[in-house]
Structure 1
């Protein structure tokens, strides 16, 4: 039984950020009822990679959820939501700001039905401010927040991060916010609204660029794979790939020099302190890379790790999938998805000794839980059939 067992979530989210949040809620035991657009469902059902006509992406982020296919523009559809909210714990949504209010399903309305409800919203730029109505995906939020500007190499263009950080980090932030709101409600009985924006979440990660500009007036430049605050802290070429090395203190620097038998680096005033190494980093990098290119990446990794120096080979995706640490931590799992079939996906990252999370099932087919959900709140077979014939709901 997961730590969120018994928690009921009415999930209006779609695409990535909200789905990422509610995936974690489902993984840790919550009942997540996914409210999907009548006739088309979540846009993420269309996203690659596609197998057997179904999205493997959707199968991953919507695993363990239920699907209620419903027309929210109908009065009957809105009434279904209000009935569901009566005994729900959480409502999640990532529509454009004001969309659910216009449907008559905003926070004030649902709070009037259930004062304990936690109403959790993700939007591109937040519920207030001059940009609050702007639409956003990961790349838009990354560009606006400064994440994209600070990513890349000096002299080159801004770069999008590899994973969709502009979606996943706000989704994780909302997950954390929900858990805190549940804790607050346990103490006080009080529900509340949570407002997470992709823009705010990403901006909060820009600690060094913000501090550099605020304290020195210098406009931060792009540093590529290196770090502006310590050196050597970078990616280095090896015979068969690349190595990630992290030397973040003078103590580690001395150990590093001794392992490589480079007494001249210890004695060189340009490299003696971290401040000096940062100032003369390009010269230092060339000298280090002369050495790393003579090693295979795992050979260099093992040499440094044996001496307690943070260093790791940069893994390819196939190497990651077979990494014994990944296997030991159960971080690649098999999901039996009704659409995609048996597929591999990332596992559950937070490990609990007493209440471990579990992936209950694959992602639901569109409308596959409609009847079950409606029956759970007292709708009869005849009422369900009537709503289907009138275009309020659909089911398999």
Structure 2
């Protein structure tokens, strides 16, 4: 028996593009909300982002984050297009957008305008710098947010230039924050009947991820610098070279330290004056303790290290490339890779749904929409009306 979708019955008018906003509305769609993705007549910019299917030209990137959505086109700079948008907003639960600050007001689609049409509307705004800041009108991409939020300067090794985190963490986590904010606002609306504005900035998002770097500075006055793979507050906590690659090991407390020393065959280190506590280990990790552990790990394969550490109850895992990660039993058993049949690109294989809900699970059932695929359905158009609006540049 098919289980109910938790967000079924909610209507989301989706004006987002690129990554941050579409990642938010992807969650809505995966859990059953009716997500109407509105694109300019030229399409979302990420339709051109690789990888592109050789025959159809469809973007795998676009397909992943826009699955389960219905798609239409609309020129909001035309009077008729704007009115068609307002008609969609009248009974919408959410409007989601990720324009830079000031753009929505110029287009007459800002929260203050739309709440007059629909007072219960929850308006989710994602941008680089937020709606209320000195930089709110600036454009932003993930690399800029990572840099200004402080995470780039903490990524890399002491003797290297700053490095951005590989995936677009500012976009992805901002999208998650947008979704969290939207659901908080929905809960409030259920109690009061009132909608509200949810304002998420990518720079704020990155800043919130700096964890102990902030109190380290505010409590000591020392500006944290790049430390490679180690954690300045926990030791040993590093990535080590083994026979056939690398493994990550985390020893986060004294109980784990005792177990770890037993595995190393170095019980003498347990109460060693330089390593007996986590604070001491963090202070004295380099160079000697790091070398002791590194020399030990070099004698084993990734699998051997993983098994030894697992038997002892010590957190450890191999460093996997993308192919290895996709095919790992952990990923496969959690349905974190799914197949979807796209109308022009054929079989597409990408990430599944992360939160596993026992009664109302999210699923990936429909491919991303072709450009303007659902124009008639969404706007209630006949074939003749669709052609007229296309000729006028409205859709």
TM range (shorter): over 0.9
Q: How does 1:232-243 map to 2 (within 5 A)?
A: 232-243=236-247
Show the counterpart of 1:339: 344
Matches within 5 A, 1:194-213: 194-213=198-217
Deviations 1:218-243 (A, max 9, x none): 11111111101010011011100111
What is the match of residue 146 of structure 1?
150
Asked if 1:103 corresponds to 2:107, the answer is yes
Unaligned 5+ runs, structure 1? none
Quote how far apart the aligned CAs of 1:33 are: 0.6
- Picking from 110, 117, 123, the partner of 1:113 is 117
Alignment of 1:104-183 (within 5 A): 104-183=108-187
Matched, 1:11 2:14: yes
The Cα of 1:388 is off from its aligned counterpart by 2.4
CA RMSD, 1 decimal: 1.1
Q: Could you tell me how far apart the structure 2 residues matched to 1:367 and 1:260 are? A: 61
C-alpha deviation, 1:155, in angstroms:
2.3
CA distance in structure 1 between the aligned counterparts of 2:271 and 2:261, rounded to whole angstroms? 10
Whole-angstrom distance in 2 between the partners of 1:125 and 1:245: 36
CA distance in 2 between counterparts of 1:315 and 1:156 reads 23
Query: 1:69-89 CA distances to partner (integer Å, 9 max, x unpaired)?
Result: 111110000000000001110
Q: Are the equivalent residues in 1 in contact too, given 2:340–2:365 (CA < 8 A)? A: no
Match of residue 323 from structure 2 = 318
**TM superposition outliers: structure 1 runs of 4+ over 4 Å:** 379-382
Q: SS state of the match for residue 207, structure 1?
A: coil
Give the drift of 1:380.
5.1
Where does the alignment leave 5 or more consecutive residues of structure 2 unmatched? none
Counterpart-to-counterpart distance in 1, 2:384 and 2:45: 31
Which residue pairs with 2:36 in the alignment?
33
Instruction: Report whether the alignment pairs 1:188 with 2:201.
Output: no
What TM-score, normalized by structure 1, do the two folds share? Answer: 0.96
After superposition, the Cα gap between the structure-2 partners of 1:337 and 1:380, relative to the gap in structure 1 and judged at 3 Å, is closer
Determine if contact 1:56/1:340 at 8 Å carries over to the other structure.
no
Specify which of 264, 267, 284 is matched with residue 268 of structure 2. Answer: 264
C-alpha deviation, 1:267, in angstroms? 4.0
Contact 1:59 1:340 in 2 (8 A): no
How far apart in 1 are the matches of 2:22 and 2:68? Answer: 12
SS state at 1:271 partner: coil
Residue 156 of structure 1 deviates from its aligned partner by 1.4
| Partner SS, residue 125 of structure 1 | coil
Q: How much has 1:211 moved relative to structure 2?
A: 0.7
